[in-house]
Amino acid sequence: MNPYNYKNNQLSVEGLSIKQIAEVIETPFYCYSQSAIQNAYQEYDVNIKQLDSLICYAVKANSNQAIIKTLADLGAGADVVSEGELRRALMAGVPANKIVYSGVAKTAHEIKFALEQDIFQFNVESENELMLLNEIACHLDKKAAIAFRINPDVDAKTHAKISTGKSENKFGIPISKARDIYQKAAKLEGIVVQGVDVHIGSQLTDLVPFKLAFSRIKKLVTDLNQSGIPISAIDLGGGLGVNYEQKGEISHGIEAYCQIVKEIFTGMDCQIILEPGRSLVADSGLLVSKVIYTKQGEDRLFLIIDSAMNDFIRPSMYDAFHHILPISKKDTQVTYDIVGPVCETGDTFAKNRTMGKMSEGDLLGIASAGAYGSTMSSTYNTRLLIPEVLVKDQDMCIIKKRTDYEVLINQDQLAPWQ
Ligand code: LLP
């Protein structure tokens, strides 16, 4: 259910009007509905709990500790890809034994830190990584529980920049080489072979590639078990898309996805791990901005707003569609190119978009911005990182403050000869 609705022509979240929030916090800011995140998690939970399962939230989607804790409090583990994410997950209260560590190039330092925390599993992506992990584990007198991330050579049919499961992509071990590397790993002193992992891409709106990849993984697990390498965990990655356009019914929702997982893996006697990111948090978020100027170009009307590609890069980077909503509903409809203030033509949120007529100073919201929004933001153009607000049952709390210029600019240091 969409947490954002109009009440008396005012867009509100969990019964709280966005306009009221913007009276307290200057735009631009991210706003998240906590209930929306909890509901999405519960939908996974209810539909997957028939299997021995663990839902490891992919922290990269939104790594604010208040968001991680929202999910950890419901029983979620975490999928992390860096020491920074691991630290955040631990600080937000995710138990180490519910943390899986993914990522294509973990450094020696990161491996050591993760081993010291006794995390649940390393998802290993290459033979060289395996060797380094073994060496560090032996040195620390520890055993690293591992899965190999298998590249099943399946086309996820999503945007090329976020497709990861084809043989040409940098990710994982080719499925053709999987059996050999498992044999090798099983002989290593510092390694405990525990699982098989797969993640074929993100924002999948078609469930068929999942079916294909999961079936290949099931076959591999069966083969490994038969060849004397018992597999106790199957990590299916993340990737389920959200309905950004909010058109029609979502035929590829969480329930349908879990149904496929159950159809394929029931009876496997393995723990099933899911790593959803976007599908847990995207729809909870709204990027609230203000119109700075309207500007009539040669053949189009520009709406120039106070957030930019540095705050929210998905439209520039993936040509992503996001609904843009006036905070106060308007009757007259106007067509705009909606752009930010950064000096790049790519700093465009939407072209040719028809929406309620906006004036300078009016507020608008970029919808479904809860995933890969704040985590992908930068300070490009020396713009400050923007605040984040969590809303729950008409309460609101700032869960990240705006950075200030002093902190931002003082990170630079002049060289002694200057
Ligand atoms: N597990 C692994 C190993 C991943 O690499 C990812 C995402 C996930 C889980 C979570 O996938 P999700 O459920 O969120 O699709 N910045 C892009 C998305 C990049 C996804 C990277 N990996 C975007 O804004 O669309």
Domain boundary, last residue among 248, 278, 308: 278
Identify whether residues 122 and 256 lie together within a single domain: yes
* Residue of 57, 60, 273 best suited for mutating to test ligand 1, as the one with most atoms within 8 Å of CB: 60
Identify whether residues 264 and 306 lie together within a single domain: no
How much is the pLDDT for 323? 96
- C-alpha 302 to ligand 1 mean position (Å): 32
- Is 414 a domain residue? no
User: What percentage of residues in the chain have a pLDDT greater than 70?
Assistant: 98
Indicate the number of domains in the chain. Answer: 2
Model confidence at 248: pLDDT above 80: no
- Is 19 a domain residue? yes
- Is 418 a domain residue? no
Identify whether residues 141 and 225 lie together within a single domain: yes
- Is 376 a domain residue? yes
Confidence of residue 251 (pLDDT cuts 50, 70, 90): low
Query: Distance between CA 278 and CA 376 in Å, rounded?
Result: 13
- Is 415 a domain residue? no
pLDDT in tens, 168-223: 788 889 999 999 999 999 999 999 999 999 999 999 999 999 999 999 999 999 99
- CB of residue 318 inside a 6 A radius of ligand 1: yes
Identify whether residues 265 and 296 lie together within a single domain: no
SS3 content of the chain, % helix, strand, coil (to 5): 35, 25, 40
Ligand 1 atom nearest residue 371's Cα: 24
Long-range own/partner contacts, residues 101-106 (CB < 8 A, 24 or more apart) = 102/149, 102/197, 102/199, 102/237, 102/275, 104/170, 104/171, 105/129, 106/133
* Residue of 278, 280, 287, 317 best suited for mutating to test ligand 1, as the one with most atoms within 8 Å of CB: 278
Identify whether residues 206 and 336 lie together within a single domain: no
Ligand 1 atom nearest residue 276's Cα: 13
130-138: average pLDDT: 98
Identify whether residues 163 and 28 lie together within a single domain: no
Domain boundary, last residue among 243, 278, 313: 278
- Is 305 a domain residue? yes
pLDDT in tens, 147-170: 999 999 988 888 888 778 777 788
Ligand 1 atom nearest residue 61's Cα: 14
- CB of residue 241 inside a 6 A radius of ligand 1: no
Identify whether residues 270 and 290 lie together within a single domain: no
What's the mean per-residue pLDDT of the chain? 96
Identify whether residues 80 and 228 lie together within a single domain: yes
356-374: average pLDDT: 98
Q: Distances from the Cα of 134 to the Cαs of 108, 177, 195, 229, 368, in angstroms? A: 11, 19, 16, 18, 41
Among 31, 56, 258, 343, the active-site one is 343
Identify whether residues 197 and 247 lie together within a single domain: yes
- Is 333 a domain residue? yes
Identify whether residues 266 and 217 lie together within a single domain: yes
Ligand 1 atom nearest residue 277's Cα: 14
Beta bridge partners of 335: 354
CATH number at residue 266: 3.20.20.10
User: In this structure, are residues 327 and 19 in contact, taking their beta carbons and an 8 Å threshold?
Assistant: yes
Q: Could you tell me the end-to-end alpha-carbon distance of the chain, in angstroms, rounded to an integer?
A: 58
Identify whether residues 86 and 199 lie together within a single domain: yes
pTM above 0.95, yes or no: yes
Query: Distance between CA 28 and CA 62 in Å, rounded?
Result: 17
- CB of residue 237 inside a 6 A radius of ligand 1: yes
CATH number at residue 367: 2.40.37.10
Q: Which of 266, 198, 232, 273 is nearest to 51 (CA)?
A: 266
Confidence of residue 1 (pLDDT cuts 50, 70, 90): low
- C-alpha 382 to ligand 1 mean position (Å): 27
Identify whether residues 19 and 47 lie together within a single domain: no
- CB of residue 370 inside a 6 A radius of ligand 1: no
Domain boundary, last residue among 260, 278, 296: 278
User: In this structure, are residues 161 and 317 in contact, taking their beta carbons and an 8 Å threshold?
Assistant: yes
Beta bridge partners of 235: 197, 273
Domain range spanning residue 187?
Answer: 35-278
pLDDT in tens, 295-316: 999 999 999 999 999 999 999 9
